[in-house]
Amino acid sequence: YERTFMMVKPDGVQRQLTGEIIKRMETKGYVLVGLKMVTPDEKLVSQHYDDLKARPFYKGLVKYMSSSGPVVAMVFQGKGVVDYGRVMIGVTDPLKSAPGTIRGDLSVDVGRNTIHGSDGTSPAQDEIALWFKPEEVA
């Protein structure tokens, strides 16, 4: 089955939304096969958001993600989990995300949008390999 990488961002951890997010994914039918709390350094966050290097918010994004406390890194498995996981998350801006989505229900700020999800099966594989050792994933 398909796998995706998801991450509760520092704001989500601080606001104690990790359980709510896992519950939504599990209730839908997706299986948690990897889970850890980590405080990523700038190098790891830079690699993760490598494709956004040219964007004006990139520096602030890397700073935020690497200096605001831990994140919760997760791998979920199941049918269509990459694309449908993104549907469940909502769009980048929480104020443009529909009610019923994670960002639509739980966030208001694009820079504090609570969760990350891989945006394709190829990025998903890369991100799982970046954040998890093979033996850390079931």
- Residues with catalytic function: 116
Can residue 3 be called a binding residue for ligand ATP (CB under 6 A)?
A: no
Instruction: Identify the H or E element spanning 7.
Output: strand 3-8
* Closest distance to ligand ATP from the beta carbon of 23 (Å): 19
Cα-based distances in Å from 99 to 36, 106, 129: 28, 9, 32
Footprint on residues 64-123 left by ligand ATP (CB under 6 A)? 92, 110-111, 113, 116-117, 119
The per-residue DSSP string of 30-96 comes to: -EEEEEEEE---HHHHHHHTGGGTTSTTHHHHHHHHHSSS-EEEEEEESTTHHHHHHHHH--SSGGG
Among 32, 33, 35, 61, binds ligand ATP (CB under 6 A): 61
Determine whether the annotation assigns residue 3 to a binding site. Answer: no
57 annotated as ligand-binding: yes
Give the x/- contact pattern for Mg ion in 81-120, rule: CB under 5 A.
--------------------------------------x-
Which residues are documented as binding site? 9, 57, 86, 92, 103, 113
